[in-house]
Amino acid sequence: MIDLLPDRLPWFIAGPLLGCLIVGLFAIGNRPMGSLGAYIQTVSAVRGGAPEPWRVWFFGGMILGGFLVAILGGGPPAGLAFGALGEELSTPVLALVLLAGGLLIGFGARWAGGCTMGHGLCGTAILSRGSMVATAVFMSAAVAVSFLIHVVVGGRL
């Protein structure tokens, strides 16, 4: 491991970079950027054919990007740790909770037609009303449920 990256890339670099990626993908390929779409196209590819195969490559890229940060010495540590939630739950229970959370994420975002990237950043950037409403709803739901979790576990999370 090399130590080239800061412990945390500051928001004023990360945010504008993401903005440039959205503009860049439209400028080059005329396509909206989205994480969920990469999952959907990967599912389609496994089932026998993705209408947008480049999104499967995008999916692979997301994993590769995380790998590059890890070898360049940035980001949280690798391993079985999962922050405060990992300290609260045993590994098998944590796995079940994450699976359930993931299920809700995939099911809900598929239903909504996009996730934080697709609706939250890209859809909002093209001033899509549907995306803006979706973003307001999933952010509000995420905040509400997080506070609920915080209260239920007695403030430990």
For other proteins, the binding residues in 87-106 under the rule CB under 8 A are: 91, 94-106
How would you label 28-39 residue by residue, b for 16+ Cβ within 10 Å and e otherwise? eeeebbbbbbbb
Q: Which of 61, 93, 152, 153 binds other proteins (CB under 8 A)?
A: 61
Give yes or no for residue 24 binding other proteins (CB under 8 A): yes
CA distance 150 to 153: 6
Q: Which of 3, 63, 90, 154 binds other proteins (CB under 8 A)?
A: 63
Give yes or no for residue 151 binding other proteins (CB under 8 A): no
Interaction with other proteins in 108-147: which residues (CB under 8 A)?
A: 108-131, 133-135, 137-147
| Shorter beta-carbon distance to other proteins: residue 48 or 111 | 111
Give yes or no for residue 48 binding other proteins (CB under 8 A): no
Which amino acid type is present at position 139?
Answer: M
In degrees, rounded to 5, the angle at the alpha carbon of residue 41 between the alpha carbons of residues 129 and 77 is 90
Q: Which of 16, 93, 153, 156 binds other proteins (CB under 8 A)?
A: 16
Handedness of CA 13, 18, 150, 101 (dihedral sign): negative
